[in-house]
Structure 1
């Protein structure tokens, strides 16, 4: 008979992908989804209206509101993507202090801070008069040639700084994963939960798609801001239009990425679609899920060691 060895896995660097707490992790994803939905409910329908009428006929106020909400959605999306990356980085690379940093209260405050910074980043548009109708794209949006300094500030704050922060976070996570795998190569290998790995990959793909979709428009904006008179007239209209719609198409891609890469999202999509045809089944499943969740909820008296304990060789 072989000796039975019990291995206690604590939430440290050796447990590479511990289960992400449902609230603190998902609240940022919900906030990102809200940012993506903002453009779908107001600016996009007005863009379609302008296309069908070959011009803007809804007045200056509607134009300003549409442009504001467009920017609110875009900047809110990248700030939320940055918040998600920081959340993943803290959970995996600084797991001992994670619970303190991302308590229920702190998480809500961080989400509120994200949206406060989003509003602060958008408000200067009203002072510099940069929310204007652009007939090339049938949209009321940020005009890159109105203020050189503000355009450079927007590109840096909205694109380069978040991209740098998110890149750092995900690189550190990948480095941590590689280091831990090598460290425990001859020891007990920690289990990497498939759901945790899928969640991480999903958000990483969201970030990569954002960078790809927004890079052309931001580089054009930066070039125009540096030398408006020399650069702006020489940018092909088709290049600007393609880069613009590439950027705003990114808001539609996130939901597709969630559905393709995450089984839980696919299941929920299917459940929501089915609820349209059979609402009573939706409420039955919701009620049953809540009851089962209460039954399976671990005792608050258990610590992390007791919850994750138990590998036998």
Structure 2
């Protein structure tokens, strides 16, 4: 997470300032946001290395035409994140409650859906509120330890959500392409093992992120601020991280999901697929449902995460300058990515008739 002029793991930009700074133009704020990148003409100078103080020399444009833009960034954006957090929290919590309250729904697929909901819940709890705080406050008020913990959990839960989707796709692939031989593989025990191994591997692989983030103090306009940022000055490369994160949390999972669903479609649309007693209409309906699921799973994941992933990679490589326009693009992309956790309950769970019936049962509590 960041405060005012830094970048966190997701490149959150803090455009909010103290109320007595609101006369500062958006352009000058944007100017401070990009100081870590080579295309910025001003670089920070260390005032005291032991205390990690940063001093900035800025030429401020006192234009006031961006006053409304600052209000949008510091007030409206946190409100949007708040809505996402509330809807996402209750939506994912309902998914968990629905499955737990209905023993007949505890299939391998639904166990993975619970894991996805839990991962999204953790993402919402440990990411969205602090991002909203970043946009609303000009500083990081939670300390160095919590800075490291939050950044670590943000990445861990993001990976857990993505690779749960991969496990769900693999489960569907085995059920459709190998319906009989996969029965010994698609067991609850193996599902628990797959979930556990996924979490352990992700948690272990992300440990370096605890050291790559930290709280830093700096001075801006004569006042001291704290930020939670990626520690490039200690030898960590932001561009390497962003490219690696893009590859391992987007490109590779998406390719795996696409490959698995293409295998399913190939199997279902094969002319020599056995029909047996199943009518042609049922077969056709099954194909259409799987096709719709392909569009839902792959499409929502790809559309929601691609803009912010691409933006942060290009930004870490300093391929464009930070302006009012690019900041707004990042904010929009940021919101879209977070909405993926918000809409997952609807896309991956409530699309099922069984889930809808169980959902109504839990909500209305009929005797």
Give the direction of change, closer, same or farther, for the CA distance of 1:48–1:237 in structure 2 (3 Å limit): closer
What secondary structure, in the 3-state scheme, does the structure 2 residue paired with 1:56 have? coil
Q: Is the 8 A contact 1:67 1:132 kept in 2?
A: no
Aligned to 2:152: 68
Q: Which position in structure 2 is the counterpart of 1:47?
A: 131
Does 2:297 match 1:206?
A: yes
Q: Which of 158, 164, 184 is matched with 1:80 structurally?
A: 164
TM-score (normalised: structure 2): 0.58
Over 3 Å counting, the alpha-carbon distance change for 1:62 and 1:172 in structure 2 is: same
Q: Is the Cα–Cα contact under 8 Å of residues 258 and 265 in structure 1 kept in the other structure?
A: no
Conservation of the 8 A alpha-carbon contact between 2:148 and 2:213 = no
| Secondary structure in 2 matching 1:152 | helix
Is the contact between residue 147 and residue 213 of structure 2 (CA under 8 Å) also seen in structure 1?
Answer: no
CA distance in 1, matches of 2:359, 2:230: 34
C-alpha displacement of 1:148: 2.5
Give 5+ residue unaligned stretches, structure 1: 1-20, 134-138, 276-280, 285-313
Task: Report the equivalent of 1:29.
Answer: 113
**Alpha-carbon offset, residue 236 of structure 1:** 1.2
| Aligned-pair CA distance for 1:161 | 0.5
Which structure dedicates a bigger proportion of its chain to helix?
1
For 1:151, the equivalent position in structure 2 comes to 242
How far off is 1:105 after superposition?
2.4
Task: Decide whether aligned partners of structure 1 residues 233 and 52 sit closer, same or farther in structure 2, where only a CA change above 3 A counts.
Answer: closer
Matched residue, 1:291: none
Unaligned runs of 5+ in 2: 1-104, 218-226
User: Cα distance 1:148–1:232, how it changes in 2: closer, same or farther (>3 A)?
Assistant: farther
Question: Is contact 2:151-2:209 (8 Å) kept?
Answer: no
1:223 offset after TM fit, Å? 2.5
1:271 counterpart residue number: 361
1:250-295 CA distances to partner (integer Å, 9 max, x unpaired)?
10011232465222222233333334xxxxx5xx5xxxxxxxxxxx
Name the CA distance, whole Å, in 2 between partners of 1:177 and 1:53: 53
Partners of 1:233 and 1:270 in 2: CA distance = 47
Cα deviation for residue 123 of structure 1 reads 2.0
Aligned residues between the structures: 250
Q: CA deviation at 1:167?
A: 0.3
For 1:160-179, list aligned pairs within 5 A: 160-179=251-270
1:253 paired to 2:343: yes
**Cα distance change of structure 1 residues 131 and 54 upon mapping to structure 2, 3 Å threshold:** closer
Corresponding residue to 1:215 among 306, 318, 330: 306
With structure 1 as the length reference, what TM-score do the two structures score? 0.67
Aligned counterparts of 2:141 and 2:257: Cα–Cα separation in 1:
40
- CA RMSD in angstroms comes to 3.7
